């Protein structure tokens, strides 16, 4: 083979290999680009999955929030209904008391003067016992709104009688049975505040302590029990308060020998 042919043949093969090497380099770039795209797709899919999970969680939370709102609305409706019933009962009691007073006044107008004082006293005592006993009857039957309304009517008509502190105590008991411990505390405290010499003060203080415990107010419960023990040491409630204090106060460890 002549030198010229060998030269041109060498040029041909050199160009061929350059072409192949260039093609291989482009394929490598393409594979790298595909790999990079796949990685980006995986990351986008991960983000999409994360967003989907967040959307589902938000929907779930919104559903739970909506359910909670519906529950609270139902509770409010029930409370409103109970309050309306209580108002209705109070209005009926007021009407009955008013009718009774009018009837008594008419009867007294027809009586001789010397008999009026005795009749007034007897009627007042009878009415007092009727209203009070009806409140107790409602309470024993578990009709706490009616019982509370009855005792409230009693206190409105007879705020300062031998049974007034008892009536106030039973109002607190109605709330206690309904597990409305905050309101029960307020009503029990009225026994201590309005009737400090009444026989229901120790019972009211003890139940206040129990209410504080129910509400997780340990400090207030301890203070109430201590007050009861200090002021009414000989009462049955003082003994029960000491038992409660032994559970609430930290026990002292025995000294090491």
Band of pLDDT at residue 192, cut at 50, 70 and 90 = very high
**Domains defined for the chain, CATH in brackets:** 162-248 (1.25.40.10)
What's the pTM?
0.56
Buried b (16+ CB within 10 A) or exposed e, 221-245: bbebbeebbeebeebebbebbeebb
Is it the case that residue 199 has pLDDT exceeding 60? yes
Is it the case that residue 142 has pLDDT exceeding 80? yes
* 3-class DSSP assignment, residue 109: helix
* 3-class DSSP assignment, residue 158: coil
List the one residue out of 172, 181, 186 whose CA is nearest residue 144: 172
User: What pLDDT, on the 0 to 100 scale, is given for residue 203?
Assistant: 97
d(CA 249, CA 96): 50
Residues 168-185: pLDDT tens digits? Answer: 999 999 999 999 999 999
Neighbours of 41 (CB within 10 A): 10
81 versus 122: the higher-pLDDT residue is 81
Is it the case that residue 10 has pLDDT exceeding 50? no
Band of pLDDT at residue 18, cut at 50, 70 and 90 = very low
Is it the case that residue 132 has pLDDT exceeding 70? yes
34 versus 206: the higher-pLDDT residue is 206
Residue labelled with tokens 């909670």: 68
User: What pLDDT, on the 0 to 100 scale, is given for residue 11?
Assistant: 44
Q: 114-128, 129-143, 181-195: lowest mean pLDDT where?
A: 114-128
Mean pLDDT of 120-145: 80
Name the helix (H) or strand (E) containing 81.
helix 3-110
176 versus 44: the higher-pLDDT residue is 176
Vertex 188 angle, CA 187 and 192, to 5° = 115
40 versus 141: the higher-pLDDT residue is 141
DSSP secondary structure letter of residue 180: -
7 versus 235: the higher-pLDDT residue is 235
Residue 217, Ramachandran bin (φ over 0: left; ψ between -120 and 50: alpha; else beta): beta
Is it the case that residue 54 has pLDDT exceeding 60? yes
User: What pLDDT, on the 0 to 100 scale, is given for residue 20?
Assistant: 41
Is it the case that residue 73 has pLDDT exceeding 60? yes
Mean pLDDT of 132-148: 93
Average pLDDT, the chain: 76
Band of pLDDT at residue 24, cut at 50, 70 and 90 = very low
């Amino acid at each position: 083979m002549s030198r010229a042919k060998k030269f041109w043949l060498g040029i041909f093969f050199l160009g061929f290999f350059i072409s192949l090497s260039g093609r291989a380099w482009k394929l490598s770039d393409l594979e790298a680009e595909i790999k990079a795209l796949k990685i980006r797709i995986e990351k986008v899919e991960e983000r999409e999955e994360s967003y989907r999970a967040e959307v589902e969680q938000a929907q779930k939370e919104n559903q739970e929030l909506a359910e909670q709102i519906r529950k609270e609305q139902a509770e409010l409706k029930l409370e409103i209904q109970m309050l309306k019933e209580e108002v209705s009962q109070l209005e009926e009691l007021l009407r009955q008391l008013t009718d009774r007073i009018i009837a008594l006044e008419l009867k007294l107008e027809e009586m001789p003067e010397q008999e009026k004082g005795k009749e007034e006293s007897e009627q007042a005592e009878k009415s007092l016992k009727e209203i009070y006993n009806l409140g107790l009857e409602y309470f024993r039957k578990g009709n706490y709104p009616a019982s509370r309304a009855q005792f409230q009517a009693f206190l409105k008509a007879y705020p300062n009688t031998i049974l007034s502190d008892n009536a106030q105590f039973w109002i607190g008991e109605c709330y206690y049975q309904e597990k409305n411990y905050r309101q029960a505390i307020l009503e029990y405290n009225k026994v201590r505040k309005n009737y400090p010499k009444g026989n229901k003060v120790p019972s009211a203080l003890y139940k206040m302590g129990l209410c504080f415990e129910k509400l997780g107010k340990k400090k207030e419960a301890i203070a109430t029990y201590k007050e009861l023990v200090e002021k009414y040491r000989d009462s049955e409630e003082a003994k029960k308060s000491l038992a409660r204090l032994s559970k609430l106060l930290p026990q002292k460890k025995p000294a090491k020998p």
